[in-house]
């Protein structure tokens, strides 16, 4: 890590992008030199991020112009979940010789679902001598990097399970909507059918674990079911009646020789009594580990992205994934 400040451009100013920008402002080793967003172009980043003051950084809609003018070390991309959608932005940054850390879930381990695009992006990054990493709390930590890190003390592993049970009450309204809270079962199933109700990243986490464990999977399967409210539950934003959907239970399974050897279970609903994250490893020895009370999704995703910045700037050229990153820990040095 250099002593010089790392120059960062923030690309995408939704709630997570704004959270990232706010956290970066607190880190003395980082300097935000630009911001890009289509919706907020022309406004000051400080106002958009809700700081109530100008930062002298005017949000632009022209990435190329910002990159040329500010010559950042890294771009933080928080614009979308699908690699195809964010690919043109990645390409612009890479061709400008800028490293990228991204929240794009599919990019967290894209080799299985997007082998062609992944190889293309990896080559492009190597050609321009920059690193690209997508991370976050999940995918990026709770269901891939964390379970893998815990296998360090195992001599052998037969099975890996990760479970994330979340009470969605304290989360943002977009999150509560995303998990189907307040919908009827028919509406929920329709949203699942349309592909709009889906936590992104389980197949990516499964593929990352399988790759690290050298397990050749027969298949990766995913199911999405509604959690039905047994009694009335309320959040600050929503009220869910008995029989309505309070959230989602989504399960990803990595199957080898007909057996589920990787099982990732994600439950997020209003009124979950016991929030926790857990990893269970069947191996030598077995490992049962829990994060009590769970992990606050928004805080943690923002943290992961910001904490990973120096590792990406110093990383090998190419498309990186969390399974091969040097240890990421809290980036200290607050102003």
- For a copy of itself, the binding residues (CB under 8 A) are 23, 26, 137, 141, 145-146, 148-157, 212-215, 283-285, 287-293, 295-296, 299-300, 302-304, 306-308, 322-330, 332-334
Output 116 or 332, the one with its CB closest to a copy of itself.
332
Nearest to 75 by CA among 61, 89, 85: 89
Q: How far is the CB of 293 from a copy of itself (least distance, A)?
A: 7
Question: How distant, in Å, are the alpha carbons of 48, 185, 263 from that of 216?
Answer: 46, 36, 15
Q: Which of 203, 183, 164, 191 is nearest to 300 (CA)?
A: 164
Which residue, 153 or 236, is less far from a copy of itself as judged by CB? 153
Pick between residue 95 and residue 296 the one whose CB is nearest to a copy of itself.
296
DSSP one-letter string for 113-168: T-HHHHHHHHHHHHHTT-EEEE--STTTTTTTHHHHHHGGG-SEEEEEEEEEEEE-
* H or E element that contains 304: helix 297-313
Nearest distance from C-beta of residue 240 to a copy of itself, angstroms: 25
CB of 187 to a copy of itself, least distance (A): 32
Residue number, 15 or 184, with CB nearest to a copy of itself: 15
Q: What string of DSSP letters covers 26-81?
A: TBTTEEEEEEE-STTTTSBHHHHTT-SS--S-B-BS-HHHHHHHH--SEEEE-S-S
Residue placing its CB nearer to a copy of itself in the complex, 244 or 321: 321
Q: Least CB distance from residue 17 to a copy of itself, whole Å?
A: 15
Main-chain phi, psi angles of 298, to 5 degrees: -65, -50
CB of 131 to a copy of itself, least distance (A): 13
The label of the residue with tokens 């979940």 reads 81
Q: Between residues 104 and 145, which has the closer beta carbon with respect to a copy of itself?
A: 145
Work out how close the CB of 103 gets to a copy of itself at its nearest, in angstroms, rounded to a whole number. 14
CA–CA separation, 263 and 245 (whole Å): 24
């Amino acid at each position: 890590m250099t002593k010089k400040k790392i120059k960062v451009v923030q690309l995408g100013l939704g709630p997570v992008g704004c959270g990232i920008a706010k956290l970066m402002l607190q880190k003395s080793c980082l300097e935000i030199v630009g911001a890009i967003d289509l919706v907020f172009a022309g406004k000051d980043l400080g106002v958009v991020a809700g700081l109530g003051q100008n930062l002298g950084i005017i949000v632009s809609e022209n990435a190329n112009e910002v990159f040329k003018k500010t010559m950042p070390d890294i771009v933080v991309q928080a614009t979308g979940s699908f690699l195809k959608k964010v690919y043109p932005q990645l390409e612009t940054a890479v061709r400008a010789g800028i490293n990228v850390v991204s929240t794009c879930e599919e990019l967290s381990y894209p080799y299985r679902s997007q082998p062609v695009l992944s190889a293309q992006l990896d080559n492009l990054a190597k050609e321009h001598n920059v690193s690209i990493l997508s991370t976050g709390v999940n995918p990026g930590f709770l269901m891939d990097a964390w379970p893998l890190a815990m296998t360090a003390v195992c001599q052998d592993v037969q099975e890996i399970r990760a479970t994330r049970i979340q009470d969605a009450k304290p989360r943002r309204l977009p999150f509560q909507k995303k998990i189907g809270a307040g919908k009827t079962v028919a509406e929920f199933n329709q949203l699942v059918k349309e592909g709009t109700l889906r936590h992104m990243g389980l197949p990516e986490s499964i593929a990352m674990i399988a790759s690290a464990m050298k397990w050749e999977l027969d298949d990766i399967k995913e199911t999405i079911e509604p959690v039905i409210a047994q009694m009335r539950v309320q959040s600050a934003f929503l009220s869910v009646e008995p029989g309505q959907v309070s959230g989602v239970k989504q399960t990803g399974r990595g199957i080898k020789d007909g057996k589920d050897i990787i099982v990732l279970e994600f439950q997020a609903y209003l009124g979950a009594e016991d929030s926790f994250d857990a990893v269970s490893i069947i191996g030598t020895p077995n490992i049962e580990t829990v994060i009590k009370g769970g992990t606050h999704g928004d805080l943690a995703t923002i943290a992961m992205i910001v904490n990973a910045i120096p590792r990406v700037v110093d990383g090998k050229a190419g498309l990186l994934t969390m399974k091969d990153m040097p240890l990421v820990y809290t980036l200290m040095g607050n102003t």
